[in-house]
Structures are given as C-alpha cells and as structure tokens.
Chains A and B, each alone.
Chain A
Amino acid sequence: MSEPVTRRDLLHQVVRGGVLATFGGGAIFLVQKAHGQVVWQVDASRCINSRLGDTGAEACKLCTTECVVALSAVRAVNEYSKCGRCNICPAYFNITSAVDAQGLPSEKLCPRDAIARKPIGKADPEDPANNFYEYSIDEEKCDGCGKCVMKCKEPLGLGSIVLRVRYDKCEDCNRCAISRACPKDALIQVPVEQALRPPELHPRTE
C-alpha cells in the first residue's frame, strides 16, 4: 500500500514535473483527480519503441491507431535534461535520406512535421556541425506514432524522447483500447501520485 500523499506533497510534485516539461497540460488535470485513482501510462521499459535491445524494427504505431481519441492521447515528449541537442538528431532527421553539402540529411523523420528545432547556446562559426539545438515537439501535431522515440533510443540516441499518455486528452477508459492491443503490455495503470513522478525515475529496462 502506498504512503499517504498530502495535497501539499502532490502540488510539490506537480511543480517538479512541470519543470521537466513532460506532463504538458495533463499535470493540472492530474491534481484535480482524486487521490487513490489510477491513470493509464506508457511503461517505457516495455514499449517496443523505447525499450533497449529492440533494434532495427519499424516503430510500433498501435498507440496512434488504437486510441479511441481522434488524435491519440499518447504523444511523444522530449525530456530536455536528457537530450543531447545534437546537430544531426536521428529523431529529427530521416538519417537514411540523401545528405546536403554540409552533411545534413535532407528529409525530416516526423511524418506530421511535429518536431521543431532552434539553435541554442554559443554558435561556433569554425565548427557549425557541433552547434547545439533545442528540439521541441508540437503536441497538437504529434499523434504518438513513435518513430522519433525509436530513433532516440540509446546508445546512439540518449533516450530523451518517450511516449506518454496526456491525461487531459485521455478518456480514461476502463479497458484502454491501446492496452488491449499492445503486444508488450506497455500500457499500464498507475496511481496518480506515481504518474506525477518524473519519467526518468522509471527504469528503461525490464
């Protein structure tokens, strides 16, 4: 049985989660839910798109196709604190596409163009290939197809992009359609207080 969580504790955790920018508008929604309730969440250590060791396969799109919400309640989120900010991000570029004169792939990976990037930090004109970029995901465009998650996987990625259920979009179905379809049982029900923990606290492997 879990430890009792006060409203103060809950708010404190929400602030932490908000800083990580991984809950979006869902954090406030969660606070409104009564303590003791459970919510659906993606277990990154089970999800084919993020679990280590599953390599080379096409991204699993069941979160996109099975969710009863028109644009799936599962979205990709980027944990900025883990992101490598690389010039050539395999989650942003289609790395198999032709390269330009600067060696950058010519195509983007996201079929909905939901990932944007902007240069950050000090630009080094002598060394443009190692400038840093901030990668942000437009959740109004993202449909949770998982392509970027698959490419962000360690070791060449840093695993900063994961799939998360957005609580303000989730219908909270008793029998989540994605959970019934997921071959890895990666859609799990977790107590509200657990859902509020930063996702990097969850292990990435089973």
Chain B
Amino acid sequence: MYTRRGWIIGAGAAGVASLLPAAQGSDWTQFRGPDRNNISKETGLLRKWPAAGPKVLWSVPVTQGYAAAAIVGGRVYHHDYDEAKSEWCVNCRSLADGKLIWQFREAREVRPNHAITRTIPAVDSRFVCSLDPKAVLHCLDVKTGKQIWRKSLVTEYKATIPSWYNGQCPLQEADRLIIATGGAAIMVALDKATGKELWRTPNPGQYMLSHSSVMPAVLGGVRQYLYGTLKGPLGVSAKDGKLLWEFGRKFNVAVAPSPIAVDEERVFMTASYDAGSVMVRVRRTGEAFKAEAVFDLKNNEWNSEVHTPIVHKGHMFAVGKKKRGLFTCLSFDGKEVWTSEGKASFGLGSFMMADGMFFVLDGDTGKLRLIEAGAARYNELGSAQVLAGQEVWAPMALSDGKLVLRDLTKMICIDVRG
C-alpha cells in the first residue's frame, strides 16, 4: 500500500525521469545510466554464473585510465588517449564484437597522473557529447563521429581545469546538456544541437569546477540540478538556472562523487580526502529554499572516495573507504546497516545495480561479485575473476545482457544474461 509520502517520492522520481531523454530499450546512455541512478532496467540476468565465470565476448586494449562506456543502439562509446601522438579520442565500437566503428581525435596534451583517461560521454540517437580532460565540450555526430560543435569551458567561462583533469560527465536531457563550469557561471544549459547557451547560473560565490557531475532531482516539488563543490552541495532550478539553495560545508582537495537526492527533501554528499559525508535537508517555503544539515559524518565515520551511492528501497549502497573498501548498506540516518566486512573488500571498485542484484568490482584485483540487492545482510550470489586489475575503478555499463567494464588498460564485454 502506498503512503502519501510514497506517492510524493514516486511523483518526484517520475519528474526526474521525464527530464531525461528516452532510452532505447536498455541503452546505458550516460554516466550512471539513463535515469542517472546507476540502476539498469535489464532483466533476466543470470543469478548464478558458470564455474569459469560469465563468457567474455570481447576484449580490447585501452590507454591507462578510468574512462568508461555509454551504450546506445548496440554501440559502445568511450574516451581514450593516444599517448604516442598526444591525441584525445572518442571511440565508437560495436557492442557485439568490440570492433572500432569510428574514432574522433583531437590534439590534447595530458600528463599522466593517476592514469590518463576519465569520464563517460552522454549519447542519444543523434549526438555524442563529451567533456575532454581540459574541459572542452565536444558534440559529435553519433553515426559518424564528425564534430558538430565544440566549446571550451576555459575560454567561454573562465573555468579552471581541475587537478587530475576533468572528472565531470555531462548530464543530458532530451534537447540540452547541463554542465558545471565554474568561473563565470556555476552551471549552464546548452542546446544539444547547437551548443547555444540556454541559461546560466551566476557564480558570485566563486565556485570552482570539482570532479563531480550534475545530478537531476526533484526537491520540494521543484525540478532542479544538484552539484557538489568543495564548498558543499547546491541546487539550481531546472527551469531557468536560478540558484535555489546552497549549503556551506568544506570538502577537501577534490570532490569526485556526485550529490544525490535520497528522497524529495534530502540530499547526500560524500567525498574523499578526509572530508566525510553530509546529509542535507532542503526545505521549501513558498518560492524560497533553505538547506540544513541532518547529519554530518566526519573522517573515518563513513565516506565514499570516488563513486556515488545507489539509492534503493530506502537505503544507500556504496563501497566505503574503511578497511580497504567495504560494500555498505547505509540508512538515510547515516548508520551502517550491514557491510561486507569479513567477506570481501573492494578498494575503489565501482558498482551498479540490475535485476535485483548489485554488480560490484574489486578495484584492486578485478574480481566481480554479484550481491543480492534488498537483502537484510551481505549476501553474495557469485563471483568471477573477470579482470586482472589494477585500479579497476571505472564505472560499468550494461545493455542487452552485456556488461562492459575495464581495468587500467583493458576493456572487456561479458555476457551476464547467458
């Protein structure tokens, strides 16, 4: 039976979903998937793997890094880098066999520091939109890879390229991209077809680019975009870019995870470098919004270093920092409900959810573990050594029963439907 609260949450989720471009079938169109929640709509997946692990469909070498895939219409899109020529690349591959269909290249000098490649393009039936390491936004033709327009955030908005380069993945809606810029704006909406600016959020607070990505949310019945900065989270009106609220809270050095709305009024933000985590309640009174702390987790209480938690059935799930990366079920009160302690640790491994299961990678070894979602405890359904490691930190992408994942130097596709 649905409570009033349940209906409000449902309506909010529907509102967020309506902002986003419709995905074809089970396309994985962008960072954290079409609904930006890291939950795939794929069904019929194997709940038990063969003794040798899921079948490897293809494997290709990639330049050292953490750049991960988007999958649309049976094609895989991902960033790469040619170290010999100092050229940044966007690759389009066949999901069926991994063969290269087209490649976009542009000269870009990048100095390896914690590897080279990062981020995930936003893809629909017409465009591939990528933010490169030096904060240049590229819009490419999805069929040919030909550049349609480009926009440097440094030139246009006086953005500062972050240490360790850009970590932001564009948020796409049906007709526009939402990008944080720092410098002259906090964030902007750009027409996807032309790159024309539709609105911008002024930046009197001098927010700088972080490594987090803009996230959609509905808070207080208002559609908005969340962004995580070194000075704390903030929310911007999806309608016109107006800054609705900001919550001052210091984060350190870099913010890689993105802030998430756990329900219609609470926003959770976590990061690394001893920053801990914070849950903020965003209250609406008339047209005004006010943010206040619900709880604040200090260093070593709980935090995620690089990945954004998944919200599922009233809980958050993520790999925490403690004890070499425990997969953790966290309540909305910030309490650990259960962890993988004594059973598995995951380093900085990524995770996603599909068909009632979590796929969680050991970021050090490349072992993939299948964990029951919604269980009252850590319940592992299976595991397989799918990659050799090291630094298996990149997010995964799932489409048509095919899971695309990578370690530092190799991208593979495995069959998880069987």
Contacts and interface: CB of A to CB of B under 8 A. Distances in A.
Given A103-B230, A130-B111, A95 B252 contact: yes
User: Interface on chain B toward A: helix, strand, loop, or mixed SS?
Assistant: loop
B253 A126 contact: no
A179 B161 CA distance: 46
B82 to A, nearest CB: 18
Interface stretch (A16-24, A52-60, A63-71): A52-60
Interface stretch (A27-35, A42-50, A72-80, A84-92): A84-92
A124 interface: yes
Interface in A94-109: 95-96, 99, 101-103, 105
A11 interface: no
A87 B274 CA distance: 18
Interface string A144-156: 0000000000011
A129 interface: yes
Interface residues of A, number: 27
B113 interface: yes
B227 interface: no
Given A52-B324, A55-B321, A56-B300, A129 B253 contact: no
A200 B250 CA distance: 35
Interface string B324-356: 100000000000000000000101100000000
Contacts of A52: 324
A4 interface: no
B230 A156 contact: no
Contact of B111 (A56, A103, A121): A121
B99 to A, nearest CB: 33
B347 A155 contact: yes
Contacts of A90: 253, 273
A96 B305 CA distance: 15
Interface string A101-128: 1110100000000000000010010110
B111 A132 contact: yes
A99 B114 CA distance: 22
Contacts of A124: 109, 111
Nearest to B324: A53
B151 to A, nearest CB: 16
B154 interface: yes
B252 A132 contact: no
B348 A155 contact: yes
A85 B321 contact: no
Nearest to A85: B113
A143 B208 CA distance: 37
B114 A130 contact: no
26 contacts: A53-B324, A55-B321, A56-B274, A56-B321, A86-B113, A86-B114, A87-B163, A88-B253, A90-B273, A99-B230, A101-B206, A102-B160, A103-B160, A103-B230, A105-B252, A121-B111, A126-B161, A127-B134, A129-B162, A130-B111, A130-B163, A130-B165, A132-B113, A155-B363, A156-B272, A156-B273
Interface size class of B (residues with CB under 8 A): 20 to 34
A103 B208 contact: yes
B347 A129 contact: no
B253 A105 contact: yes
B163 A55 contact: no
Nearest to B391: A155
Contact of A96 (B165, B252, B363): B252
Contact of A95 (B208, B253, B300, B391): B253
Contacts of B158: none
B146 interface: no
B164 interface: yes
Given A84-B113, A130-B111, 7 more contacts: A55-B322, A56-B300, A86-B113, A86-B164, A96-B250, A121-B111, A155-B391
Cβ-closest 3 pairs across A and B:
A56-B300, A129-B163, A53-B324
A4 to B, nearest CB: 36
A88 B163 CA distance: 7
Interface string B231-271: 00000000000000000001011100000000000000000
Contact of A84 (B114, B165, B321, B323): B114
A121 B113 CA distance: 13
A99 to B, nearest CB: 7
A130 B134 CA distance: 10
B273 A86 contact: no
Contacts of A84: 113-114
A88 B230 CA distance: 14
B299 interface: yes
Contacts of A127: 134, 161
Contacts of A53: 323-324, 345
A126 B323 contact: no
A94 to B, nearest CB: 9
Contact of B160 (A56, A105, A129): A129
A46 to B, nearest CB: 15
A126 B272 CA distance: 26
Contacts of B323: 53, 55
Contacts of B348: 155
A86 B113 CA distance: 7
A155 B303 CA distance: 14
Contacts of A99: 230
A114 to B, nearest CB: 21
A86 B299 CA distance: 22
Interface string B98-131: 0000000000010101100000000000000000
Nearest to B114: A84
Contacts of B162: 103, 129
